[in-house]
Amino acid sequence: MGIEVYRDSWGIPHIRAADHRELAYAQGQNAAFDRGWQLEVERHRAAGTSAAFLGEAARDWDVFARRVRLDDTARRCFRHLAEEDRETAGWVSSYVDGVNAGLAQGAARAPEFAATGLAPGRWSPWTPLAVWLSTHILFAGFPAKLWRRMVDAHLGAGAVELFATDGPGTAGSNGWLVSGERTADGGALIAGDPHRFIENPGVYQQIHLACPEYDVVGFAVPGVPGLPHFGHTGGVAWAITNAMADYQDLYIERLRRRAGRIEALGPDDWQPAASHTETVEVAGAAATGVEVVETGRGPVIAEVPGSAADGEWEALSLRYPPRVYGELGFPALPALLRAREVADVDAALDGWVEPVNVVLAADTAGGLLHRVAGTVPVRDEANLRGAVPAWEAAYAWRGRHAPMPSVPVAGGIAVMANERGPAAPFGAEFAPPYRAERIRELLAGGGSWRAGDMAAVHTDTLNAAARPLLDLLAGVDGLGPAAAELRDRLLRWDLRMAADSADALAYARLRSAVVRALAAQPALTPLADPPPYPALLLPWLDLHTRIGYALGTLLATDRLPEIDLPALVRAAAEETAAHLAAAAPGAPSTWGEAHRLAPWQALPGGTGGPGGSGGPGEPWPGLAGDHDCVLATAAVPGVTDLCARGPAARYVWDVSRREESRWVVPFGACGVPGAPHHRDQLAPWQRGELIPVLTDWQALKESHDDR
């Protein structure tokens, strides 16, 4: 048969090959053709060499990538994979061969290569593992441990839980399963949307992969073979959300230099640490020398500011499972493609490592699965809370948690939305329950669900998180006329963050004023100036961000008696009313006019207009939703109304009738600016619509590399 590549009307690739290995090759070749620039950016980011063509903005990331040893860890994991599972290692290598075969043609299509002077390079067998590591190294939000350390130091340990909520660097998702007893045709439905930083091109690629062994549709991660997170084989479908588990540890290291070597204080006294120096090249600026140090706990990622004394200093090392065990769980990827029933998905994920996920799966025989998958080390509770001393044996790892929890699907509905659930024993911070509770409420209201009905759940904009602030506002008296009118207006508001809602904008303005006022309170201002850690870690240490995401808890607590919350809300209402009254002509008047998409691009503005707009002179579109809505288009209250994180894809898997499934991504199937399918899904994604999943080969158009 050879390799056959087809396209549907949305440019989504449908690839058939004679066997499993040839199909991996074809998937890699297609990724290079459609996403060549994206693949090369990710390869360089994983190697810590992206600043050499992206410039100063990429320096901090490259320094971190070198220090945390991403590329070396990927090599270690691939060596282990080749020793333990030669078949999977060969499959990954076939994908890499395909990437290398397609990169030159892909680069010729992508104007970013000429704009930066970057020439396409060559992928190594371990590069997909490096890309996976780079994509997920911050997924568990380990820098939040530095935030907890700050709160401990300034407010006391009891105050940490005041800020315990979904942190700025973590990525969540919605996911839900409706069993056959609640659907119109008696087959299960799985739906949801992964919430990540919105990247252009997108982090998820819709694809259809087929060979004599299997025929699967799902979302690929460009640069990685298979369908790791979301897929439908015709017999079984699966989906994941972030479990919010804590599986990475920060250790406080004591370091010193002796006879030209670095030593680290561990439980068994001073021991030599591995060290060498690397150079990060930066386009248009001076290079940076990086001392790469690794102790018995892990790579050193930063010095503790102000800790140097008597020839010794403190630093932070990161211990993470792939570095420790030399595993990423890649044998699960081909096993998922071959899955026929829930038991196959379950068995495949027993070997999963990173990131730690909550999984939903269902098959055509009525099998259901709701479980946690991934590697979580067994260690002291203090390791989850914050950075722990490396020299104390009590904080060493003591194996892995196994087996991971699996829970029944009760009442025909299962929901996963990063709240405390089956992964609760493994985490320190979880998302507030608003999204999960709202999804359950919506699903409980229907009894004959079809795939096409699920868009209404995806796009629900009810913001239950607004209630704590509005409850306080309701009890505020002594307001001036304009502020009183604002109060009465918001108390009549339906709590929906609709794009065309002026009330939603007014609420957002009030919320931001409250966040700023709280950040200015003397009780909290000690947290306003974090130590000078590397800039990459600082978003987790930003006071306004932390207050914005934990606002409901802070407004309901009695642990900060020195803050007069009614007076603070009264002043914020007066400020907001005055601001709205004084708005200049042309200023945003609805939530969608202020709450606009702000995707990350390796070259800001490179595929849109000035400043990263959606086209020449055109701003990116306005969005409904908010970070605690089911439609989780996240802004940072008190900092910006722009949305940088949200649904990186949406999907509905109709388990018994795959041809009735639906999906959408924020931009399009192709990563090449100006190509017909570069941004053709942006409008339906913005409107909350889903496009059909096409699986009928007879209805597809064969592609000849002119798409």
Residues 466-489, mean pLDDT to the nearest whole number: 97
For residues 163 and 151, the answer to whether their CB atoms sit within 8 Å is yes
The per-residue pLDDT for range 475-484, each reduced to its tens digit, is 999 999 999 9
Mean of pLDDT over the chain: 94
For residues 615 and 662, the answer to whether their CB atoms sit within 8 Å is no
For residues 510 and 490, the answer to whether their CB atoms sit within 8 Å is yes
Residues 6+ apart with CB under 8 A from 145: 250, 385, 386, 387
In a domain, 479, yes or no: yes
| Domain co-membership, 155 together with 262 | no
Provide the number of structural domains found in the chain. Answer: 2
Considering the chain, what percentage of its residues have pLDDT values greater than 70? 96
Choose the final residue of a domain: 594, 616, 642: 642
- Domain hosting residue 533, numbered range: 150-167+461-642
| Domain co-membership, 156 together with 279 | no
Give the model's pLDDT for residue 168.
45
The per-residue pLDDT for range 402-426, each reduced to its tens digit, is 999 999 999 999 999 999 999 999 9
In a domain, 469, yes or no: yes
Give the model's pLDDT for residue 447.
78
In a domain, 705, yes or no: no
Choose the final residue of a domain: 610, 625, 642: 642
Give the model's pLDDT for residue 158.
81
Of residues 559 and 165, the one with the higher pLDDT is 559
CATH number at residue 511: 1.10.1400.10
Give the model's pLDDT for residue 707.
42
| Domain co-membership, 284 together with 160 | no
Task: Evaluate if residue 617 carries a pLDDT over 90.
Answer: no
Give the model's pLDDT for residue 684.
98
In a domain, 268, yes or no: yes
The per-residue pLDDT for range 37-84, each reduced to its tens digit, is 999 999 999 999 999 999 999 999 999 999 999 999 999 999 999 999
| Domain co-membership, 482 together with 598 | yes
In a domain, 95, yes or no: no
With tokens 């002043």, the residue in question is 571
Task: Evaluate if residue 434 carries a pLDDT over 90.
Answer: yes
CATH number at residue 284: 2.30.120.10
For residues 124 and 95, the answer to whether their CB atoms sit within 8 Å is no
Band of residue 507 on the pLDDT scale cut at 50, 70, 90 = very high
The per-residue pLDDT for range 623-663, each reduced to its tens digit, is 999 999 999 999 999 999 999 999 999 999 999 999 999 99
| Domain co-membership, 471 together with 616 | yes
In a domain, 197, yes or no: no
Band of residue 706 on the pLDDT scale cut at 50, 70, 90 = very low
In a domain, 455, yes or no: no
Report CA torsion sign: 60, 63, 69, 74: positive
Residue 133 identity: L
Give the model's pLDDT for residue 609.
35
With tokens 């590591």, the residue in question is 133
Residues 684-701, mean pLDDT to the nearest whole number: 94
Task: Evaluate if residue 457 carries a pLDDT over 70.
Answer: yes
| Domain co-membership, 520 together with 623 | yes
